[in-house]
Amino acid sequence: MANTKSIHGEWSSRFAYILAATGSAVGLGNIWKFPYITGENGGGAFVLVYLACVIAIGIPIMIAETLMGRRGRQSPINTLTTLSTEANANKKWHYLGWLGVLAGVLILAYYSVIAGWACAYVLKAFWGGFSSDAIVVKESFDSLMASPGQLVFWHSVFMVATMSIVMRGVKGGLEKAVQVLMPALLALLIVLVGYAMSTGEAYFKGLSFLFDPDFSEIDADAILTAMGHAFFTLGLGMGAIMVYGSYLPSGISITKTSLYIAGADTIVALLAGIAIFPLVFANGLEPGAGPGLIFQTLPIAFGNMTGGWLFGILFFVLLVFAALTSAISLVEPIVAWLVENRGFTRAKASVLSGVAIWALGVSVAFSFNIWSGFKVFDKNIFDLLDYLTANLMLPIGGFCIAVFTGWVMQTEHVKEELDLPEFIFNAWTIFVKYVAPASVLLVLLHVLGVF
Ligand code: PHE
């Protein structure tokens, strides 16, 4: 065993860990991104590919990434150094930790801007409630997008909130907040699904869009997006769950907790889809409306509902919190590394990384308005960061994690961390050695045009 405890502290219980890791997994990915990319990629068939990726690639890699963290007990970079030494492997593996740190920084830069939209909507809900007219709702969203000042302001608010939580460390406040917020978010989503059911015919149209697969809608890019999203939504491939795993006390089952986390994450995404698509069809909107989808649909529901004013405020507050519990896991790897290797205090490490990410985020905020014409590979800065991280960096990171646990680490060490009955261990090994890496590789090579 490398270390028995992390210098940064430990989760106080199994439940605390499940909540924190679920907090990392459940976020904008489930409620904002899943519906809009499903809408852009034709619905049911895309959902099936995404679910297949969660099961065949996501869950096995989640187990792998968590066990690496728990065995290494440090930031992903140092964990990889320790584990490759233990396995007598090449020390260059620690670059995998760097890839993750970089992905976390790039993701948070745009994640925070989108979370800023949700912050702005809390205030919108508070001041005037929402209109029940789809056109008014869309105009209000467009005017937010057109304002660099507002976008930067809300992005800054969100970054300050994130970094002030990160500063307080593993146990301070975070564990407690998540205990209340996660169940509340679930309850509100169920209220929204209830409202969606009241749309009658549109409800069934929404359901069949989500669950009736039409495979003619699927091409290589859609498969890449679905696979990338499986990584993104579970928070895999960049060291977030690895660093959370490094705070996991020994003796807690990594397999069981991973199943709970992935299950909860998937349920939240599907509920969000069931709440949103009926509204899209009931109001003559386009499922492929893009990143603004939930901001152009849910307000209509709040505008129509009795008490919608209050539900609107609650929903967007909870969305902001769901985003916060993910955001803190995105910076934790770099903060932990700065503390370990540069001897910074948590406060100093948080401020420094926060400022750098904030600055990058400003360029993302501008990419929706004054810099919208600036494109690389035909993508603006937001699209570029999203594509680069979710579709490339996370799958590549996940591929390397699978290879590392499946082929580089010694089997006894892996067994020691997982402590599973033989046949389950063998099944997991097949996925991590063959199924997951081969699938990721095939999709990536196909998209790159190799075959
Ligand atoms: N899983 C988070 C979400 O769905 C985002 C995230 C990505 C968190 C990568 C951690 C690591 O919103």
Residue having the nearest C-alpha atom to atom 8 of ligand 1: 235
Q: Is 107 in the pocket of ligand 1 (CB under 6 A)?
A: yes
- pLDDT number for residue 114: 97
pLDDT tens profile 34-91: 999 999 999 999 999 999 999 999 999 999 999 999 999 999 999 999 999 999 999 9
Cβ atoms 330, 107 nearer than 8 A: yes
| Count of all residues that appear for the chain in the document | 451
CA pair distance 270, 226, nearest whole angstrom: 14
Residue having the nearest C-alpha atom to atom 6 of ligand 1: 235
Cβ atoms 166, 328 nearer than 8 A: yes
pLDDT per residue of the chain (451 residues) written in tens, 0 to 9:
445 778 888 888 888 899 889 999 999 999 999 999 999 999 999 999 999 999 999 999 999 999 999 999 999 999 999 999 999 999 999 999 999 999 999 999 999 999 999 999 999 998 877 888 889 999 999 999 999 999 999 999 999 999 988 888 766 656 766 777 788 888 888 988 998 898 889 999 999 999 999 999 899 899 999 999 999 999 999 999 999 999 999 889 999 999 999 999 999 999 999 999 998 898 888 899 889 999 998 898 888 878 888 888 988 988 998 899 899 999 988 998 899 889 899 899 999 999 999 999 999 999 999 999 888 888 999 999 999 999 999 999 999 999 999 999 999 999 999 989 999 999 999 999 999 999 999 998 888 877 7
pLDDT tens profile 300-348: 888 887 888 888 898 898 899 889 989 999 998 899 889 988 989 989 9
Q: Is 28 in the pocket of ligand 1 (CB under 6 A)?
A: yes
Atom of ligand 1 at shortest range from CA of 234:
1
CA of 288 to the centre of ligand 1 (A): 22
- Mutation probe of ligand 1 site: the residue of 37, 50, 330 with most atoms within 8 A of C-beta: 330
Q: Is 233 in the pocket of ligand 1 (CB under 6 A)?
A: yes
- pLDDT number for residue 2: 46
Q: Is 93 in the pocket of ligand 1 (CB under 6 A)?
A: no
Cβ atoms 247, 274 nearer than 8 A: no
Atom of ligand 1 at shortest range from CA of 265:
4
Reported as type and span, the H/E element at residue 231 is: helix 220-234
Question: Which amino acid makes up residue 305?
Answer: M
Q: Is 326 in the pocket of ligand 1 (CB under 6 A)?
A: yes
Q: Which residues pair with 376 in a beta bridge?
A: 379
Q: Is 264 in the pocket of ligand 1 (CB under 6 A)?
A: no
* 133: phi then psi, degrees, rounded to nearest 5: -95, 120
Cβ atoms 80, 94 nearer than 8 A: yes
Q: Is 239 in the pocket of ligand 1 (CB under 6 A)?
A: no
* 166: phi then psi, degrees, rounded to nearest 5: -60, -40
CA-nearest of 12, 117, 28, 104 to 321 is: 28
Query: How far apart are the two ends of the chain, measured CA to CA in Å?
Result: 43
Cβ atoms 132, 300 nearer than 8 A: yes
Q: Which residues pair with 379 in a beta bridge?
A: 376
Q: Which two tokens stand for residue 304?
A: 């129509």
Largest CA distance in the chain: 64
Handedness of CA 407, 409, 411, 417 (dihedral sign): negative
Q: How many CA atoms lie within 13 A of 266 on its CB side?
A: 18
Residue having the nearest C-alpha atom to atom 9 of ligand 1: 235
CA of 233 to the centre of ligand 1 (A): 5
* 376: phi then psi, degrees, rounded to nearest 5: -120, 130
